[in-house]
Amino acid sequence: MKKTWTKVVVVALSCMMAFVMAACGGGGSSDSGDNTLKLGCTGPLTGPAAIYGNAVKNGGQIAVDEINAANPDGVQVAWQVEDDEADGEKAVNAYNKLMDDGMQVFVGSVTSGACVAVAEKTNADRVFELTPSASQAAVTEGKDNVFQLCFRDPDQGTISADYIMENFPDAKVGVIYNNASDYSAGIFDGFKKEMDAKGREIVAVEAFSDDANTDFQAQLNSMKNAGADFVFLPNYYTPVSNILVQADKMGYAPTFFGCDGVDGILTLEGFDTSLAEGVYLLTPFTASAEDEKTQNFVNAYKEAYGEEPNQFAADAYDCVYAVYNAFNAAGVDTSASAADICEALVAQFAGGFSYEGLTASNAMKWQATGEVDKMPAVYIIEGGKYVEK
Amino acid sequence: MIFLTNLISGLSLGSVYAIIALGYTMVYGISKMLNFAHGDVIMIGGYMSFVMTMYMGLNGWLALLVAMVICTLLGVTIERLAYRPLRGTGSLAVLITAIGVSYFLQNIALLIWGANPKMFTSLFKGMKPVHAAGGQLTITPESILTILANIVIMILLTLFVSKTKAGKAMRAVSEDNGAAQLMGINVNQSISLTFAIGSGLAAVAGVLMLSAYPVLMPTTGAMPGIKAFTAAVFGGIGSIPGAMIGGLILGIIEIFSRSYISTELSDAIVFACLIIVLLVKPTGLLGKKISEKV
Amino acid sequence: MAERILKNIRIGGLKNAVKGNDYRKEATISYAILIGGYILLQVLSAAGIVGHNLQGQFVPICVYVSLAVSLNLVVGISGELSLGHAGFMAVGAFSGILMSRVLLQSMTFEPLILIISMLFGAFMASIAGFIIGIPILGLRGDYLAIVTLAFGEIIRNFMNVLYFGFVDGKLKFAFNHTIEGIEDTDRIITGAIGATGTKTMASFTWGLLLCLFTVFIVLNLKNSKQGRAIMSIRDNRIAGESIGLDVRKYKLMAFVVSAALAGMAGCLFGLNYSTLVPVKFNFNTSVLILVFVVLGGVGNIWGGIIAATLLTILPETFRQFADYRMLTYAIVLILVMICTYNPAIKSRITALWNKVKPKKKDNGPGGKPRKKKAGKEAA
């Protein structure tokens, strides 16, 4: 019996502690009388996908700091990012926590799987949602209040396929993609559809999974044996860097072509950038772009966080600005409820609002379905820099 | 030729698994616990070596030595602080604690080094790959040296365990903890020594693994850890040659199933092979048969 | 014969054999916690004291409680270490989602769809449990643990290549990259992207019903003739065999029932979110459930209920630590394990407790830690 009682004591104490803490967290919504728009976001700040969540957190912060410094008397912006470990369940918890804290507009989630789960909630709660980087089609499907700032995955695949067919008519194309990643699998899906539709053959398709993303020799050998001289890599830069290193060791040197996820490879600490020479990538943003806006952002980011921003950081930066501009254009007050702000912003975004940002060469516009219209550009890596093609 | 290339890849990957598996197997042998934090010690070893070469400008080999020392200390500290208080309370409590330690190490690495991956510079940078059979077969220096390192470590460890006094003491403790204590063997010291060796080897495994597969992240050690644990069981957990054989077989199966069957299902095939082996030999390939008394 | 010896074991008061009295006490506490917690939380929610964050966790908490209770059947009552419980959860979740989508084509009455889906999830998970149960029967201890781990990984790997969807209203499936001619909205399960477009049906009340059902099944099994046989095999396999107990049958029974219950819980979990990815059911989730069981006291049903609730809420309450959240969680986990299991610290806490609380009843020295492994620490 003694043991039971020990446990009862421990359990009861910790129970009380947890509930008190949970209650404290719940009651924390402060009605600040000041003129502040509260933006919230959930993303993976820990775990294997933590790079993406942290980039969004930091990129958004840069935009928020800029806005707040530029308009000391105007609408101020607050930016709160909660960890969701790229998991749907945790993302819903994190979103609910943001709601408890009085969030008015949701700028998330970072990863698609988590975002689909949260989008359902924002739709029910009538909270406006603009995701920086959740690129699955299911994110916006059937939800009038959810918009994307990034390309949809299959669209990137389609654009890539068109580009390759036009510019590399004789190349024997192979694909190595991550079948455990919605991003990678989504792009491949669109890519394959387009290639099939236009009657172009893919000579070899190999997949890998997140658990086995270290050794690519089998996949590369298969590419080599199929005679592929052009390899499409719809992956993030981490596996791509690994693939480049191993291809180099094997002495296999086809033309590599990646999507926006490859951006960031040149600043990867310890990476021999000479391996990335001649790699093509289709991306709406690169940190080495010369225009003033991008350079300001990149410099501010470097100064604050000591590293170059990637695609995700730029997407978040654009998201904050887009929401801020649309909010001002809508003429709503910061004291309005989240639902009122939602209706006003939906009217803006679906009604021809446009925004010129870092992540598109044109002014972005949104369709009522939530999809963004923007153009990516194709770059090639030459001399350790992105050169636009 | 492809067969040979795959075989060498498999042996090299298997050697990494084998070295990691040694840590699992030795710790299991002596303290009957599954040390799930072992994979994360590998990751820490990798980061230490990375820091030493990139930030401190140390030579790769010297950095490896420093990483080994730090991992050794880390292993001993973990054992002292987290596992020793729970010794003798049944394996479940220690198992959960080990998982807690694993989370702890991953998150501390995240806080210190950030979420961005690092590219590890190969320990054998500058060495030329060997070309054979008219250029059809390319063998990287990483493959050869990893396999060699595995063999050397295995021989040294076997000699250590069978010839030296400390090694014999370790065996005695793993055979019968209580009896060993009665014979005047310092059990605590033996267990600490086991953790020290296992963790030092983890640093070696980490550097070898990262030389071949260079992406270093806070979660880098998790999956190799689980695979190596599988390898240890495959060969018969508690047995040193078992760990080596298990690791090599696992590596070969993984690479071959990826090349010839499916890249998507290679892990499933590896684990399925494990189940089949355990069906035929319930204690692994070289595992001792446990006799039960009423 | 076996019956009589079992009875003797019971009368002899082997520490873990359940006496009728204990059973009633355990059942009362368990049901009281579940129903009391439910009423308390509902009242607090109605009063507006509970925030969105906690409210959103009601269903997952129920799911984890029922997973912890069902895993306790294997770990605590049958005495085998299982590291693949999330695999059964996955089978139940995905097959349940599939069933719900199929039923939604012809039915609109959600409670019925939910029940049928959960039963289907349980059925599929029990089949999986049966298939994996056969090879594990011959294995002992940690070897069994690794096989369950391997099995969990195989399931997840398999889910990554599994595609389900409707083409012209007909259910189709494939193992390759995509299903020919499918519209995006008609996809149900898309490999690693998982299930999307699930209609969410789960609620706190369904969660409570699931928990009650799980506890009912597990407690009744524990207190039945079969349950006593399972426990006697756990305590001494050879003795069990010698009195003619069919070790294989009883172990399989515990394993399959546990798998079915996990599948049911997985299904409710799947129907609580509009999307579900296979990665969710990785080794970490299996371990998480195991942590609930161990922390709650192996074999202790109500302990598992409380531990699952607490450990689900805990990481959320740590959000205020921001970047240090998961680190704090890890440290708390280690400290709690050491504090509850280290003999020296434990006796100190007990002594402290005894000073405050006047003695009621003492069953002698509170059980020394046993030498044999796995799952006998519980009171």
Lowest mean pLDDT among A54-58, A208-212, B225-229, C261-265: A208-212
For residue C316, the chain A residues in CB contact (below 8 A) are 22, 25, 93, 97
Contact yes or no for B267 and A215 at CB 8 A: no
Residues of chain C with Cβ-Cβ distance to B261 below 8 Å are none
- Round to whole Å and give the CA distance between C103 and A129: 31
Q: Which ranges in A44-83 belong to alpha helices (H)?
A: 50-70
**Cβ-proximal residues to A306 (8 Å cutoff; 6+ apart), any chain:** none
Average pLDDT over residues C357-377: 44
Q: C21 — alpha (psi -120 to 50), left (phi > 0) or beta?
A: alpha
A100 touches chain C (CB under 8 A): yes
Could you tell me which residue, B242 or B92, shows the higher pLDDT? Answer: B242
Name the residue among B248, B244, B1 with its Cα closest to residue B133: B1
Q: Dump pLDDT digits (tens) for C321-342.
A: 777 888 888 998 899 888 888 8
Nearest residue to B93 (alpha-carbon basis) of B40, B37, B34, B39: B34
Distance from CA of A277 to the nearest CA of C (A): 31
> CA-to-CA distance for C343 and C361, rounded, in angstroms?
21
Are A249 and B209 a contacting pair at CB < 8 A? no
Q: How many CB pairs under 8 A join A and B?
A: 105
pLDDT in tens, B15-53: 999 999 999 899 888 888 888 899 999 999 999 999 999
Q: Which fold has domain C2-309?
A: ABC transporter involved in vitamin B12 uptake, BtuC (1.10.3470)
Residue B290 pLDDT exceeds 70:
no
- Nearest CB neighbour to C361, from listed A1, A94, A138: A1
Q: How much is the pLDDT for A270? A: 84
Task: For residue A113, give the nearest of C184, C277, C319 by CB distance.
Answer: C277
Sequence-ordered alpha helix ranges (H) in chain C: 2-12, 20-46, 52-55, 58-72, 85-104, 110-136, 141-159, 204-222, 225-235, 237-242, 247-270, 283-296, 301-317, 325-341, 343-356
Residue A70: partners with Cβ closer than 8 Å, 6 or more residues away: none
Judged by DSSP in three states, A254 sits in coil
- Cα-to-chain-centroid distance, residue C238: 28
pLDDT of residue A289: 79
- Please enumerate, as own/partner, the contacts of B133-137 that have beta carbons within 8 Å and a separation of 24 or more: B133/B1, B133/B4, B135/A251, B136/B1, B137/B1, B137/B4, B137/B5
Let me know how long chain B is: 294
Where do the domains of chain C lie?
2-309
A206 touches chain B (CB under 8 A): yes
Residues of chain A neighbouring B145 (CB-CB closer than 8 A) = none
A214 and A106 both lie in a single domain:
no
Task: List, in sequence order, every residue forming a beta bridge with A385; answer none if it has no partner.
Answer: A382
Name the residue facing C192 among A1, A99, A182 (closest C-beta). Answer: A182
What DSSP character marks residue A105? E
Return the SS3 of A131: strand
Q: A286-305, pLDDT tens digit by residue? A: 887 788 889 999 999 999 99
Name the residue facing C54 among A26, A89, A205 (closest C-beta).
Answer: A26
Q: Does A92 touch chain C (CB under 8 A)?
A: yes
B54-64 average pLDDT score: 89
Same domain, A167 and A145: no
- Residues C373, B32: C-beta atoms closer than 8 Å: yes
Q: Which residues of B touch C140 (CB under 8 A)?
A: 282, 290
Position C269 confidence tier, pLDDT thresholds 50, 70, 90: very high
Within 8 A by CB and 6+ apart from A3, the residues are C346, C350, C366, C367, C379
Half-sphere exposure of A256 (CA within 13 A, CB side): 26
**CB–CB of C104/C271 below 8 Å?**
no
Average pLDDT value over all residues in chain A: 85
Residue B206 has pLDDT above 90, yes or no: yes
Straight-line distance from the first to the last Cα atom of chain C, in angstroms, rounded to the nearest whole number: 29
The answer as to whether A384 is a domain residue is no
Model pLDDT, residue A173: 93
- Contact state of A9 with C349 under an 8 Å Cβ cutoff: yes
| Chain A CA closest to residue C273 | A117
User: Is the Cβ pair B107, A46 closer than 8 Å?
Assistant: yes
A96 contact C CB<8A: yes
Give me the domain span that covers residue A238: 154-283
Does ipTM top 0.90?
A: no
For the record, the structure tokens of B258 come out as: 């990826």
Round to whole Å and give the CA distance between A136 and B123.
40
Mean pLDDT (whole number) for C108-128 = 95
Contacts of A5 in chain C (CB under 8 A): 350, 353, 357
Q: What is the pLDDT of residue C354?
A: 80
Measured CA to CA, the distance from residue A222 to residue A215 in angstroms comes to 13
pLDDT at A146: 94
- What pLDDT digit, counting tens, does each position of C91-104 carry? 999 999 999 999 99
Chain C hits for A120, CB-CB cut-off 8 Å, are 200, 273-274
* Stronger pLDDT, A76 or A13, i.e. the higher one: A76
Q: Per-residue pLDDT for C230 more than 80?
A: yes
Question: Minimal Cα distance from B229: which residue of C?
Answer: C146
Q: What is the mean pLDDT of residues C243-270?
A: 92
Average pLDDT over residues B72-79: 95
pLDDT (0 to 100) of residue B135? 66
| Chain centroid offset of residue A216 CA | 25
pLDDT beyond 70 at C362: no
Q: Provide, as residue numbers in chain C, all residues whose Cβ is less than 8 Å from the Cβ of B237.
A: 142-143
Q: What is the largest CA-CA distance in chain B?
A: 64
What tokens does C322 get?
């921001």
The pLDDT, as a whole number, for residue A24 is 45
Q: Does C150 touch chain A (CB under 8 A)?
A: no
- Which residues in chain A touch residue C58, judged by CB atoms under 8 angstroms apart? none
Q: List the CATH number of the domain containing A275.
A: 3.40.50.2300
Q: What pLDDT band is residue A28 in, cutting at 50, 70 and 90? A: very low
- Element at A108 (helix H, strand E): none
Q: Shortest CA distance to C251 belongs to which of C136, C149, C373?
A: C136
Mean pLDDT for C17-23 is: 62
CB of C273 within 8 Å of a chain A CB? The answer is yes
pLDDT 10s digits, A341-376: 999 999 999 988 899 888 887 788 999 888 888 878
**Rounded Cα distance, A253 and A239, in Å:** 17
Write out residues 148-187 of A within 8 Å (CB-CB) of C.
178-182, 185-186
According to DSSP, the residues that pair with A36 across neighbouring strands are A76
What pLDDT does residue A29 have? 40
Residue A13 binned pLDDT confidence (cut-offs 50, 70, 90): low
- CB A28 within 8 Å of CB A100: yes
Q: What is the pLDDT of residue A16?
A: 52
CB contact under 8 A, A3 and C346: yes
Q: What is the mean pLDDT of residues B125-129?
A: 79
Least confident interval from A85-99, A182-196, A211-225, A296-310 = A211-225
State mean pLDDT over B157-181.
Answer: 89
Other C-beta atoms closer than 10 Å to the C-beta of C249 total 12
DSSP one-letter string for A264-301: TGGG-BT--GGGGTT-EEEES--TT--SHHHHHHHHHH
d(CA B78, CA A102): 42
**pTM score:** 0.87
How many whole angstroms separate alpha carbon B83 and alpha carbon B68?
A: 21
Q: Please report the number of interchain residue pairs, chain B to chain C, with beta-carbon separation below 8 angstroms.
A: 149
Q: Give the residue from A260, A283, A306 where a domain finishes.
A: A283
Give the separation between CA B281 and CA B239, rounded to whole angstroms. 14
Q: Hey, what amino acid is at A118?
A: V
Question: pLDDT band at A27, cuts 50/70/90?
Answer: very low
Question: What are the chain C neighbours of A83 within 8 Å (beta carbons)?
Answer: 319, 325-326
Sort B266 into a burial class: Cβ within 10 Å, 0-12 / 13-18 / 19+. buried
**Among A205-219, B234-248, C12-26, which is the least confidently predicted range?**
C12-26
Q: Compute the average pLDDT of residues A179-204.
A: 87
User: In the predicted model, is pLDDT for residue B291 greater than 70?
Assistant: no
Is A98's pLDDT higher than 80? Answer: yes
* Dihedral (CA of A296, A299, A304, A308) sign: positive
C188 band by pLDDT with thresholds 50, 70 and 90: confident
pLDDT over 90 percentage in chain A: 39
Q: Write phi, then psi, for B137 (nearest 5 degrees).
A: -110, 120
Q: What was the pLDDT predicted at A211?
A: 65
Q: How many Cβ atoms are within 10 Å of C305's Cβ, its own excluded?
A: 29
C141: left (phi over 0), alpha (psi -120 to 50) or beta: left
Q: Cis bond leading into B199, ω under 30°?
A: no
Residue ranges of A 15-44 with Cβ closer than 8 A to chain C: 15, 18-19, 21-23, 25-27
Hey, is the C-beta of C323 within 8 angstroms of any chain B C-beta? Answer: yes
Secondary structure of chain B in HEC code, one letter for each residue: CHHHHHHHHHHHHHHHHHHHHHHHHHHHHHHCCCCCCHHHHHHHHHHHHHHHHHCCCCCHHHHHHHHHHHHHHHHHHHHHHHHHHHCCCCHHHHHHHHHHHHHHHHHHHHHHHCCCCEECCCCCCCCCCEEECCCCEEECHHHHHHHHHHHHHHHHHHHHHHHCHHHHHHHHHHHCHHHHHHCCCCHHHHHHHHHHHHHHHHHHHHHHHHHHCCEECCCCCHHHHHHHHHHHHHHCCCCHHHHHHHHHHHHHHHHHHHHHHCCCCHHHHHHHHHHHHHHHCCCCCCCCCCCCCC
User: A355: phi > 0 → left, psi -120 to 50 → alpha, else beta; which?
Assistant: beta
Question: Can you give the pLDDT at residue A31?
Answer: 45
DSSP-assigned states of every residue in A324-353: HHHHHHHT--TTS-HHHHHHHHHHHHHTT-
Question: What are B139's strand-pairing partners?
Answer: B130
Whether residue C139 and residue B103 make contact (CB cut-off 8 A), yes or no, is no
Quick one: average pLDDT of B163-176? 89
A214 touches chain B (CB under 8 A): yes
| pLDDT for the residue numbered A331 | 87
CB of A253 within 8 Å of a chain B CB? The answer is no
- Choose among A22, A100, A185: nearest Cβ to C317: A22
Query: Six-digit token pair at A184?
Result: 């990678």
Beta-carbon separation of C317 and A87 below 8 A: no
Number of compact structural domains in chain A: 2
Confidence of residue C241 (pLDDT cuts 50, 70, 90): confident
Instruction: State residue C358's pLDDT score.
Output: 57
C-alpha distances out from residue B272 to B234, C132, C153, C157, C165, Å = 11, 11, 10, 11, 28
Whether residue B99 and residue C81 make contact (CB cut-off 8 A), yes or no, is no
- Confidence bin at A26 (pLDDT 50/70/90): very low
User: In degrees, to the nearest 5, what angle opens at C-alpha C67 toward C-alphas C61 and C69?
Assistant: 105
Put simply, the chain A residues between 182 and 241 with a CB less than 8 A from any chain C CB are 182, 185-186, 188-189, 192, 205, 209-211
How far apart CA A181 and CA B60 sit, in angstroms, is 34
Partner A contacted by C342 (CB < 8 A): no
Instruction: Convert the pLDDT of each residue in C297-320 to its tens digit.
Output: 888 899 999 999 998 998 888 888
Pseudo-torsion of CA C59, C60, C66, C68, nearest 10°? -160
SS3 A135: coil
Which residues of chain B are at the A interface, by a Cβ-Cβ cutoff of 8 Å? 2, 5-6, 9, 13, 50, 54, 107, 110, 114-121, 129, 135, 138, 140, 142, 209, 212-219, 223-224, 254-255, 258-259, 263-264, 266-267
* CA–CA dist A151, A148 (Å, integer): 7
Residue A15: is its pLDDT beyond 60? no
Shortest distance between the Cα of B214 and any Cα of chain A, in A, equals: 7
Q: Which helix (H) or strand (E) holds A197?
A: helix A182-197
Nearest to B214 among A179, A245, A251 (CB): A245
pLDDT of residue B11: 92
How much is the pLDDT for B76? 95
For the residues C271-287, what does the mean pLDDT come to? 90
pLDDT band at residue C214 using 50, 70 and 90 as cut-offs: very high
Q: Which chains touch A (3 or more CB pairs under 8 A)?
A: B, C
Instruction: Tell me which chain C residues have a C-beta less than 8 angstroms from the C-beta of A209.
Output: 157, 160, 192
Does residue A303 form part of some domain?
Answer: yes
Q: Which residues from chain C sit within 8 angstroms of residue B268, using beta carbons? A: 153-154, 157-158
Residue A315 located in a structural domain: yes
